[in-house]
Structure formats: C-alpha cells, structure tokens
Structure 1
C-alpha cells in the first residue's frame, strides 16, 4: 500500500466495505469486514484499521491508568454544605472535577423538594439520591424514580394519633427528630411492620428495610454504567456508613463522627465543603494514588503458602503471567482466579483463542466454532459493569486471531479510559496474540498496564514489552524453576536467592516482583469445573 501526501492509502477491500455498509460510525468495526468478506476481508480490513489509526502501532508510552475513579458521591449536609449552604469555592471545585470527565452524585437524607429549594446548583450532579437512598432523581431530565415503596398509610395515621412531632413524609421516607424515635419504634412494633429507623445527628428517618444511602448510590451508579470500584464517596454522619461501604474508596470529612472516621479509608484535614475541595484536588492531582495504600479494599487472594501466609495481589496495581507446559493446569488456575474476581465484582474480559473457557457458567461467551465474535456486540455487553465476557476466537482462522485482537485491544483501552473497566483483561495463548516476532503489528498497548493476565505455554515467544509490564508470575507444572527463570529474563529483574521449590501436588509457584522474598510454593484455590490445560 502506498502513501500519498503523508497519508496511508485505503485498500479497495476497505472502500468496498465502506460503500456496502454506508455507516461511517461502523467503519472501524472489524466484525463488518468478517461478515462482508470472510477471512480475507478480516485480514485486509484489520490492516486498514491500523492504518486509519496512524500506521503500524507500537507499545505505548502513555500511562494507561490516568483515571481510576470516575465518580464522586457526596453527602450534602455538613459535608458538601455547611448549614445548608454550599460555598462558592466548593462549587468551583465541583465544576473542575466535571471538567476532568468525572461524574458527580449527590446522596442525601433530605427530601427532594427541600433540596431543590435550598440548592439551585443541583444540575451539577449526574444523579441525586434523596430520602436516604429511597428516591433517585435525574437532574438533566427531571425524572424521579422511587427505589422503595411509600410508607403504609396506617403507619402515618398511627404516628399522628401518638402525637409524634415533628414528623413529615416524603415519597418514601418518614422524617422526625429525637426523642420521638421511642414512639416511632413502638408503632412499628405494634403494627408488625418491616421498617427500619436510621439516625443522622439527631434526625430520625424511617425507611423500608434494606434501603440506605449505599443501596441508592449503587442504583445511581448502575444507571450511569459506573462500577462501584471506580467511585469515591464522602460523608460525615451515622447514615453515611452505608454510603462509604458502597464505594471502593470511602472518605470522612474532618467534622465527621468518630465511628465514621474509623471506618473511612481517608479522613480529610478540612471540614465540610473544604474537605470535599481537598479530595477533589487530590483526584485531579493523582487520582488518589497517594492514598490508595490506605484503602481497605479486598486484595485478590492467590493462595496460601506452606507456613500459612496468604499470598495476594493488589486489585488495582497488578498484572500477572500464568505460564507452564501443556496440560499443567494453567486454565484450572485461571478459573480459580476468575472466581475470586467475580466474588469481588470486577469486570473481566477474557480473550479465548481456542475455546477453552466457553463451558464456564455465569459468564457471557461471544463466538464459537461456527461464528466469530462481533466487536459491536462485545462492547454492548461490556457496557454493563456487572457483565464479564469471554471472547471465543475459535470461529476465526488461526492466522486472523492476532489481527482481530489488534483491532479489539485499543477499543478495550478506550473503554478503560472512559469508564475504568474492564478491570481485568485476560489473554489466553498470549504468545499467539502478542507474538514477539510481530510486535509492530499488535497495536497500542500501554507500557505500564495493570489488570492484565497473560496465559502462555511459551514465555520466550511473548512480546517482550508485554512481559515487562507484568508484576508477577504464577508458574505451574513440573519445572517451575525454569519457567520462573524465563520470566526473570523476560522482565529484566534478577531472581532473588530462594530455597528450592517443593513440588507438591496441587501447588503453584508465585513470584511477585514487589515481594521482599523470592518465589513461593502456594496452595492455590482452583476452579471447580475446569479441564487441565
């Protein structure tokens, strides 16, 4: 293909496909080339995709995880606002956060009409969770959605008869003040209702069982297609425990109650809106990387060493190789890791060139031996943060699978840049998808990519730059020392001195580069329904 005026030319195959499809927004979907021209179309079309993106692409020097947190959820009273007023400087900080591409969610115990009356800037927020998790409001459209049933009229009537004062009813919530909670609890008990009482610095809120700020926030994030792993919450009071627990990072302002500070990952040095400003500036500065080591998020357990030590990886900052000879248990080990990632609600995209994982339950598979996967369908599924995906490439000719991956992977990176997910990308047969001898044709892959697993039988054949982004290895099979030695050479990190690894049935061998010791024999939790591959 020749270049004219500094721009790459487009093949006749691509021009014909463009005329047949007639939709510019889909020109870069390689599945179109598959449907229109079969294997030949895939090869030509995917080559054109690389050219349209600026020519053969190399391992990127850009940091792939510039943003991990895409949403900030704020309590209102005594967090965002002081005595019901949000300071101009705090409003300015909110606007700067929005300009960074992040979203805002307001989570409050107030009733919506009251909130709109005192806070005219409510439109800054993508969603508003009102009535302590019971009402979801969309400022851009004015739509309101109830997340629970209104209070029974018999309950409201009984409160009036008992002389409870003050009290008011919202769409779902019943509001009062202490010490009226004693009367309220008595009415709930006498009527046999499944209602709960939640306290907030003297305020008393009655809601259906199970409704709180955390459940309301999760409903809002679901509508926004943002995972709770990519959200930060900040609050000050008793009813904010559930709010902070719903996010990967929970923050208390300095004026918060002591028990919330003890539960929070971070406590600000400033109070109220100034504390919110402090967190916004940290998000804009380094996406809270400076405080991530304080987070109480659950690590990903790989297994247990002989001395009882739990061997884990950080859920945000790890990338792994799983390597070993054929039929040594690589897929069994990977399925065990998949189960743990699923338990923690991480979104996974597994590229499966040979159909080894299509038998798994509770995870969507696209593609089979008769039908190649469709990239448009892949991203329709990944649009939902709760949906993980196996991309089965068995329907593609062997030579076309790396080309398909070369087109897919930049799009996965784009989704990560916009939404922070899929949290984990897993490449089976990595030596075929990322071959060392064809590194120039692979496409853009960041030099420092976390949340990546490479599964391979041929470490020496994997693209060198890909190996250098790994932070550890799980070696399986009968010769782990040789596998780990190859990994050490590939990543350019000398092996520390370590004792000879015992080779007990069921053990895998783990070396984490940031660990103070060398490789360890680990009894891993393996998958329940896996072939040995």
Structure 2
C-alpha cells in the first residue's frame, strides 16, 4: 500500500449542505477499513465540526480553525497550534463595525466585504497576523498558521509522511495543505484555480467526489502518485519528454561497467529525492557516498555500522541515511542488509518512509546462488534502486522485481541485452547512447 491516508476539507468537499451524505460516510469507512488513516482539515471551530459529524472517531485526527487546533477524536485530546485571539484586535474590529466576528480558540473570523477593515485593524494593532479566505469567509490567524501546518502536526502525531497522503479540497484556504500532500485532488465544485492546480481533478462534486476518490485510492493506489512529485527526475528522452522513476511499481536497475558513471547517476538521483523532500536510505559497500549532501552517514572504512543505530536513523522523519558497510565482510554485510530491508519495509508500511532505497553493488547483497534470500523481495524492493556492474551475479528473484533498467557507458546496449536474456525476454532495440545519455528500458512495456 503506497498511499496511507486521506486528508479532506469539510464544507464544499465532504459535504455541500453541512451534513455528510450516507454514501460519502460509507466510502470513507471503506477507505478506513483498508488500514488507511483519515484526517479532517477544516476552517470550522472544533465544537461546530464535532456537532456535524455522525462519527468523529472515523477520523484519526481533526485539524480545526484552519490549522490552529488539533484534536484526537479517540482520546478527546486537544492541542492548540497557535496563541489565542488578540483581545486588542477584537476591540479594533468592533470599533470599525465589523460584524459578525466569530472568536475561536485561536481564530477570528468574519465575512466579506470586511476584509479591508480587518487589514486596517491588523495594521493598527501591530500584530504579525495573516488573512485567509474561504469562499467569502475572512479568517485571521498568526502568520505561518494554515491548513498545511495543521496537517503537518497531525501527521507528525500519526508518524505518517505527507508524501503518502492524498489531499482533497475545494477552496482558497485548501491550497496550502493540498500542495503538501503527495497527491492533490479537487472535487468538481472546487474553485477553478484549485482544480487547475490539482493533480487529480475529480468528476464528482462534494460528497460524490469523495466516493469517487476513495474508490480510486483503493483500486489504483500508487498509480495515482504524480511522477514529478514521487519519482526523481532521470532526464529527458530524445523527444524532450521528462523521464522519472516510478514509486510503488517495482525496482529500478542501474547498470554500468566500472567507471561508467552508475554511482554518479545514483548520487544525482538522491539529490533530486532530497529536492522533493523524499527520504532515502543508501547501502554503500565501497564508500562512494561518503560526501553525499542531505544525508547522515553511519559506518566507515575502519568502523562497521551499528545496525540498531541505522534502524533508529531511518525511522526519524526528515532524515536521509547512508549505511557504509566497508568494514564488514560480505557475509556480515548481507546479514545487516537483510535486517535493514525488512525493518525498512515495516517502516514503509506504517509511515511511508524511507521513500527510496539505494543498494550500491547490489550483487554483493543479493547474489545469485545465495540461500536463503530475504523473503517477500517483490514487496520489500518497491521504490528501490539496484546498482551493479554484474547483472548476471544478481539473484533472479531480485531481477524479477525490476520495472525499469537504466544503463550507462559504452556497453549500455550490451548490458540491456544481457538483462533481457536473464529475464527471458526478447531484447529491445538499443540505439547507441551518446555523451551524457543513458539507455532506458521498461521490461514488459516494450
């Protein structure tokens, strides 16, 4: 399972008339039954939204007041993510005749056309506040507090990566949290700018759109992930089209003889992962990734990596890890890798992290003829880059997980033909690769 949850706005998204329709509720329950998490993200005050929900415990967290209040329906716990409203600002608004003014735990809210009076009052107060709009509503919160920051706090509590969440909304104040999610959906009744920027414009309006989206998440899962968000950019093909690695659809095999640039390519891919805030773990048996930026290194030529420390690091949000196994003999490298692979697979299933694994000299870790090999390789090697110069020395069960082959150097075409033979497939046509080019082949899609 690639997408681990859904974050949804309420008014105009889950419902059009304040109450959730039975088909919408049933669709959300089906989604929850798959093991996914549900987070409600709303501009409403918490008591108001709780009074409208038929079953608040359906949601793992509720983000209220446009990101300022976080609630756990299972325990009743409530956490303020912003300071309470300014009494001075409230007096200034009243002096300007702004009515009505709703006062929440953290938010002040009114309606258009009072936005200019609100701006004047904020200016006079000298406070660092911001205005957010929601289809006529005018909401005032401290600068930097919005639905995206509220969702981040919710996902930090749930220990789930935002990249593995789908977001859905309809209005201006949904933009921030939709951009933070791994896939942004917009219901059919959403504002044009929200639909324009969405990764997935839905055909259904409000609750019908939620029914549609829940069904697609269950049926399509990783296929909904936009490549430009989840797959590091590999380059452009000769027609100028971007080529990305694809998450959740098997592994990528990077091939090249010694000195051809395969490790250089793998390092460039990790830099692109970091740019997209995708977390990675590299198993480095030769010290090729020692100077890798945006990563914490563990182990060296003299000191073997500590397995417990490696697992602790990869479990931390926002941390990329390079595990240097130079100091270990081959057999111990394989044992460390087996443990790391299975722990990473369990962590991915629960949190979505690490988003990518990079296994350099993969033939050392998963060699042909090694018994036993780690179980469930087809599942554990999803979103994994296998780097080797000896494809024939790689276990066939590892080769069977490959969905993209990338070959570099003068022997790129020969390496792809070799892999096609190892997989029992007809060799694809292989043009000569020019300077700065790589040959790419997707087995099964030729």
TM-score (norm 2): 0.90
- Please give the secondary structure, in 2, of the residue aligned with 1:466: helix
Whether 2:329 is the aligned partner of 1:379: answer no
d(CA) in 2 for partners of 1:202 and 1:495?
60
8 Å contact 1:410–1:444 — kept in the other structure?
no
Aligned length: 446
Which runs of no fewer than 5 residues in structure 2 stay unpaired?
Answer: none
Whether 2:333 is the aligned partner of 1:404: answer no
When residues 498 and 386 of structure 1 are mapped into structure 2, their CA distance, relative to the original with a 3 A threshold, is same
- Please give the secondary structure, in 1, of the residue aligned with 2:55: helix
d(CA) in 2 for partners of 1:347 and 1:157?
47
Paired position in structure 1 for 2:103 = 169
The Cα of 1:431 is off from its aligned counterpart by 1.0
Q: Tell me which of 33, 43, 54 is aligned to 1:99.
A: 33
- Please give the secondary structure, in 2, of the residue aligned with 1:128: strand
Q: Tell me which of 423, 428, 444 is aligned to 2:376.
A: 444
> Pairwise mapping of residues 213-362 of structure 1 onto structure 2 (< 5 A)?
213-287=147-221, 289=223, 291-292=224-225, 297=229, 299-304=231-236, 310-317=242-249, 319-362=251-294
8 Å contact 2:69–2:80 — kept in the other structure?
yes
Whether 2:438 is the aligned partner of 1:509: answer yes
- Please give the secondary structure, in 2, of the residue aligned with 1:415: helix
Stretch moving more, 488-497 or 252-261 = 488-497
TM-score (norm 1): 0.76
- Please give the secondary structure, in 1, of the residue aligned with 2:209: helix
Paired position in structure 2 for 1:429 = 361
The Cα of 1:205 is off from its aligned counterpart by 0.8
The Cα of 1:309 is off from its aligned counterpart by 5.2
Structure ranking higher on relative contact order (CA contacts 8 Å, 6+ apart): 1
When residues 123 and 451 of structure 1 are mapped into structure 2, their CA distance, relative to the original with a 3 A threshold, is same
Larger Rg: 1
The Cα of 1:243 is off from its aligned counterpart by 2.4
The Cα of 1:338 is off from its aligned counterpart by 0.6
8 Å contact 2:67–2:149 — kept in the other structure?
yes
Paired position in structure 2 for 1:531 = none
The Cα of 1:70 is off from its aligned counterpart by 0.7
The Cα of 1:194 is off from its aligned counterpart by 3.3
Paired position in structure 2 for 1:109 = 43
When residues 191 and 206 of structure 1 are mapped into structure 2, their CA distance, relative to the original with a 3 A threshold, is same
Paired position in structure 2 for 1:85 = 19
Q: Tell me which of 330, 334, 350 is aligned to 1:418.
A: 350
Q: Deviations over 1:256-293 (max 9, x none)?
A: 2232222222333333333223322332334373x557
8 Å contact 1:474–1:508 — kept in the other structure?
no
d(CA) in 2 for partners of 1:462 and 1:515?
19
The Cα of 1:343 is off from its aligned counterpart by 0.8
Paired position in structure 2 for 1:199 = 133
The Cα of 1:371 is off from its aligned counterpart by 4.6
d(CA) in 1 for partners of 2:331 and 2:200?
50
> Pairwise mapping of residues 456-467 of structure 1 onto structure 2 (< 5 A)?
456-467=388-399
When residues 299 and 443 of structure 1 are mapped into structure 2, their CA distance, relative to the original with a 3 A threshold, is closer
Q: Tell me which of 54, 59, 63 is aligned to 1:125.
A: 59
- Please give the secondary structure, in 2, of the residue aligned with 1:101: coil
The Cα of 1:451 is off from its aligned counterpart by 1.0
Stretch moving more, 315-324 or 107-116 = 315-324
The Cα of 1:453 is off from its aligned counterpart by 0.8
8 Å contact 1:236–1:257 — kept in the other structure?
yes
d(CA) in 2 for partners of 1:184 and 1:308?
49
